[in-house]
Structure 1
Amino acid sequence: MLERKPTESKETQQERYYLVREDMLPEALLKTIQAKELLARGEVKTIHEAVDKVDLSRSAFYKYKDGVFPLNRLERERIVTISMDLEHRAGILSRVLAMIAGLEGNVLTIHQTIPLQGMANVVISVDTSMMGEQLAVLLEKLRDQDGVRRASLIGQG
């Protein structure tokens, strides 16, 4: 939920978020989430159909739609980009990918340069939403992996 202090100007207002257990939420917020899920799954085509189906007013839907999200949606948007220098030896990239999968990371993209002087740069984008708080563990394991000369986080979003 969003809370703003009345003494702050619009330019300095900062959004604050809270994690609230579902059974503590008002019915209008829960129904807004249900309506958004119906729309996202394609079970209804319009907002009017969605709010009718969950018995919610359109004004309540529009009031809350941009401020309430299921936690799993927020977690899904955790994509990191990692740059590594790998020795040019058979199986190193395969072991790196297996390690990421073992920590429940989902590799989205891989870009590898042609090896020069026995080294190749590899940049991978990984969806870490299923990893929990294991990103630091992943980076440490990558750095300790035989054949990985360097591993660093270069982007997160």
Structure 2
Amino acid sequence: MDNTKTSQKYYIVAEDILPSAILKTAEAKEMLARGEVETVHEAVEKVGLSRSAFYKYKDGVFPFFRAVRDKIITIALLLEHRKGVLSTVLNTIAAEQGSILTIHQGIPLQGVANVTLSIETAGMVVSVDTLLQSLGLIKGVKKVELIGQE
């Protein structure tokens, strides 16, 4: 079998049918990228994977968002009208290496404001789903929704 870059084929496969070694490899790689661990040894120990399995799969396993580089997403948020909520949202995106392209904030009505953000995901160290989950956990964020993706 020819393993040159030009002959590589890629497949989109549902997570629930992948072997655990592949899932754990992806998890270990994400931990390393986020800086949660400093070494491969630490990462594989935390996810319960052998180093040999990690090295076997590491170059062929990556989240789907990594395969589609230079993508732009648009998200809509409903934020409480309190100091620091939008700042925390922006800092969270920056911490994950997302590049904010546009911000549109409506005037707060009845204690909440609508915010729409366009984010370039090419440099992000986490998946879009993980980012959305993180944003949803911020105190003062009432709703997070992915409304567009290029």
Which interval holds the TM-score relative to the shorter structure? 0.5 to 0.7
TM-score scaled by length of structure 2: 0.55
Gaps of 5+ in 1: 1-18, 26-71
Aligned to 1:85: 78
1:132-143 aligned within 5 A: 132-143=125-136
CA distance in 1, matches of 2:111, 2:102: 23
SS at match of 1:75: coil
Computing the radius of gyration from Cα coordinates, the structure with the larger value is: 1
Gaps of 5+ in 2: 9-65
Task: Note closer, same or farther for the CA distance 1:129–1:117 as it changes in structure 2 (3 Å cut).
Answer: same
TM-score scaled by length of structure 1: 0.53
1:7-156 aligned within 5 A: 21=5, 75-76=69-70, 78-156=71-149
When the two chains are superposed, the root-mean-square deviation of aligned CA atoms in Å is 2.4
Task: Note closer, same or farther for the CA distance 1:80–1:20 as it changes in structure 2 (3 Å cut).
Answer: farther
Higher relative contact order (CA 8 A, sep 6+): 2
Percentage of identical aligned residues: 44
Instruction: Indicate if the aligned counterparts of 1:103 and 1:134 stay in contact, CA closer than 8 A.
Output: no
CA distance in 2, matches of 1:84, 1:101: 16
Moved beyond 6 Å, runs of 4+: none
